Amino acid sequence: MNLQNYIRDISNFPKEGILFKDITPLLAEPKALRETIRQLADRFKDSGATKILGAEARGFIFGAALACEMGVGFIPVRKPGKLPHKTLTATYKLEYGTDTLCMHADALRAGEKILIIDDVLATGGTIGGILQLTSQVGAEITGIGFLMELSFLNGREKMLGHRVESLITF
């Protein structure tokens, strides 16, 4: 199954000059969504991860489903003010601004093996924020996975030294 057939282009979103890759058609097609999770699970089956981190919001979709498939825990990484317990925070740059992510301070332990999952690798800012969070507790990153990668934005360069897998590359 060619997953790229389920990605729709939206011009000038979220601002003028951006070509947004919309995953809504993929999420709406059960076979495509199942195939996405199967391919990610196959790529990371030997990672040794005990938990998956997924960034708000689309990273929740793929990360939680993959955690169920792999039989590991899931940790949501959220925007500020969304988590009810003590949090760690990281602020990072995006291709069109800055953002902040938070994670419960007790969600990870030092040395724990973590797989990071998100929908798209663009500039690498979001994953850079997650890497900041995981380094605050000393977790070990066993892999970073994406449905798609916008290779022309060179986000992979921010993850040197980490195993990075993308199912689709634009």
Q: Supply the residues annotated as catalytic.
A: 58, 95
CB-CB contact of 41 with 62 (8 Å)? no
- Exposure string for 52-75, b = 16+ CB within 10 A, e = fewer: bbbbbebbbbbbbbbbebbebebb
CB-CB contact of 44 with 145 (8 Å)? yes
How far, in Å, CA of 126 to CA of 109, rounded?
21
Hey, what are 137's tokens? 């507790």
CB-CB contact of 78 with 133 (8 Å)? no
* Inter-CA distances, 135 with 75, 88, 103, Å: 15, 11, 12
> Measuring CA to CA, which residue among 155, 166, 97 is closest to residue 131?
155
CB-CB contact of 79 with 101 (8 Å)? yes
